[in-house]
Structure 1
Amino acid sequence: MKGTATVVKNAGSHFLLSELPTWKPFPAVLKGKVRMSGNSSTNPVAVGDVVTYECTVDPDASHPASIVSIHDRKNHLIRRSTNLSRQSHVIAANIDRAFLVVTLYFPEIKLPFLDRLLVTCEVYGIPATIVLNKVDIFKEEFPEEMENFRRIYENAGYEVIMTSARTGEGLDRLREAVTGSEGGQVCLFSGESGVGKSSLVKALDPSLDPKVGDISMAHLQGKHTTSLYEMYPLSCGCFMIDTPGLRGFGLVSLKKEEVALYFPEMLRVSGGCRFSPCTHTHEPGCAVKEAVYQGTITAERYSSYLGMLEEDKKFR
């Protein structure tokens, strides 16, 4: 018997699938031929992938389903692998919106890291929202830095939602953004370690059933029991893909002359450049450099852009 389901948990070569929007996860393994088809990335199957599976007729099988094919993706978020610079890793697939969680300090934000995430979202057509967490601390200690951060990214065209998992500030707006206009969307929550993502998710939806994790671990006992990527159902009817804290993010398959196309604020003014193509570095009559000089493009974002033109390993 064959069926279609969505990957809701990835633990190496073992997975949990569910026929969304119904939430009834069941275990599955990956057939060898499918695994070989993903030779361009370290993981051919990602959370969010829609797959075709086959069920075994053996009632005593520990994994009654096998993934036999992967459906075409509408999008995916991908990064260059940390240790294998020629390989890539798919973080998640078929995402309706990405929520990038950051803090100003504790840990200190690295703007080039955030900008690489944003550029990758732009490349693959994933709408992105920035979530600045722990604002209860920053309002007291770093109010100017907090407002400057908001200015940088709202100027670039991104919504910045200010939140505090501790006080509840901003959670209503975040919940509204996660739900979306139609409901049922799949959202990605990602960010560096220590930004309070897990606490934020729990505060966002206290109804999350902790048994989900217990059931998952029982299915995968002895096989990669530390889950790297997992989807959860939210009480609003949407689904959230949670990721581990990212330590680095390398751009994949992006030529230097294409980078500026994925900075929205640069794209808005680049038509005014004297030369085309323009790298926005040394050419005379460059509208982007003029916008940086005038302050309509922030120096911080322009600096990140210049960094992306250099060796990728610099910010990995």
Structure 2
Amino acid sequence: MKGVVYKSTGSWYVVKGEDQQFYNARIKGVFKIDGITSTNPIAVGDHVEVKTDDGDTMIVEIYPRRNYINRKSPANKHLHHIIAANIDQSLLFATLKNPKTSSGFIDRFLVTAEAYHVPAIVVFNKIDIYKEKELALLEFLSELYTAIGYRVFKVSVQTQEGVEELKEALKGKTTLVSGHSGVGKSSFLNLLDAGLGLKTMEVSGWSGKGMHSTTFAEMFDIDDHTKVIDTPGMREFALVDISKNELSHYFPEMRPFLPDCQFNNCLHINEPNCGIQRAVLDGKITEERFGSYYSILETIEDKKWK
């Protein structure tokens, strides 16, 4: 029977079968997908074949993935961890206060979404607690990301301001919901369906960082056509399997100017006749995003990932 993985704990999986029933399943043997070994061979959203024998349900085959989102494994920097597969869009929850999400974190997430052809939405939550400083930054970032083609929502899950519009953006799609711990992901999902009863935790007062309230990625049916995938809060989001030469291709505003570079392998830093540098000087690419590009470039080690 075919099924879809709804939850992965690393050792066992919850699979929803074609009969609409849920099964606790384990994997049979070791899976290698496309020659790449990740820390989790099966991810939430994977389409699989299951077989039940003597009351035990085993996953015996994984069907090809349409797409996936991954990150560097927290446990092993040379391996990657697949967050979710076969998704229609990704929704990044960010906050400018309690806790603060850096623009670098947002940009690394967006680069990964671009690399794996997953449309991304940026949601700034907790707008009800922002003061003048945060409100000014909110407007700046909203305009910046909107100008380069991303959908941006400004919401308060606490007061439900802007939440209805965000709900509409999820209808009929499978959406991955990500972000730091404490940014309000689980609270938002509880608004989508009060029956989920997801745990929420306050932000630590002394560190300003959120505590993990979600332990494993898990998919939920909001209705017959709408699914959301809740993910554990991430402190960092490190890129994998993206080379220095590729990086600029995943900044949408840079792509139109790449043919203007003299060299095909231009990194847009010190090379002569660089189309990207000219676009920055002409104000067609913002200095903030170019600075973010450079910061990410510095962290990339060109090596073959396992």
TM-score exceeds 0.5: yes
> Corresponding residue for 1:13?
11
TM-fit CA distance, 1:37 = 9.3
For 1:188, what is the secondary structure of its paired residue? strand
TM-fit CA distance, 1:36 = 10
TM-score, normalization: structure 2? 0.86
TM-fit CA distance, 1:38 = 7.9
Deviation sequence 1:279-299 (CA, Å, 0-9, x none): 211123323222222333222
Moved over 4 A (4+): 35-39
Q: Does 1:76 align with 2:68?
A: yes
> Corresponding residue for 1:206?
193
Deviation sequence 1:207-228 (CA, Å, 0-9, x none): 44449xxxxxxxxxxxxxx841
Q: What is the number of residues matched between the two proteins?
A: 286
> Corresponding residue for 2:117?
125
TM-fit CA distance, 1:111 = 1.5
Q: Does 1:43 align with 2:40?
A: yes
Query: Larger % of helix: which?
Result: 1
CA contact (8 A) 2:70 2:81 kept: yes
Deviation sequence 1:250-283 (CA, Å, 0-9, x none): 2111111110001000112223334434221112
> Corresponding residue for 2:167?
175
Change (3 A) 1:36 1:282: closer
Deviation sequence 1:94-113 (CA, Å, 0-9, x none): 01100011011211122122
Equivalences for residues 66-215 of structure 1 within 5 A:
66-138=58-130, 142-179=134-171, 183=172, 185-203=173-191, 205-210=192-197
CA contact (8 A) 2:89 2:120 kept: yes
TM-fit CA distance, 1:27 = 1.0
> Counterparts of 2:221 and 2:237 in 1: how far apart (Å)?
27
TM-fit CA distance, 1:236 = 6.6
CA RMSD of aligned residues (A): 2.3
Change (3 A) 1:33 1:144: closer
Deviation sequence 1:73-107 (CA, Å, 0-9, x none): 00011111123111111110001100011011211
For 1:95, what is the secondary structure of its paired residue? coil
> Counterparts of 2:235 and 2:23 in 1: how far apart (Å)?
30
Relative contact order, CA 8 A, sep 6+: which one is greater? 1
Identify which of 29, 51, 63 aligns with 1:32.
29
TM-fit CA distance, 1:55 = 0.6
> Counterparts of 2:263 and 2:300 in 1: how far apart (Å)?
26
For 2:150, what is the secondary structure of its paired residue? coil
Q: Does 1:259 align with 2:257?
A: no
The residue type equivalent to 2:27 in the other structure is L
TM-fit CA distance, 1:35 = 7.5
Unaligned runs of 5+ in 2: 199-213, 302-306
> Counterparts of 2:7 and 2:35 in 1: how far apart (Å)?
18
Change (3 A) 1:15 1:51: same
> Counterparts of 1:36 and 1:295 in 2: how far apart (Å)?
43
Change (3 A) 1:209 1:249: closer
Deviation sequence 1:109-158 (CA, Å, 0-9, x none): 22122111111111111111111111122266622111011122112221
> Counterparts of 2:70 and 2:125 in 1: how far apart (Å)?
24
For 1:130, what is the secondary structure of its paired residue? strand
Change (3 A) 1:267 1:37: closer
For 1:264, what is the secondary structure of its paired residue? coil
Deviates more, 1:37-46 or 1:95-104: 37-46
CA contact (8 A) 1:207 1:235 kept: no
* Identity rate, percent: 40
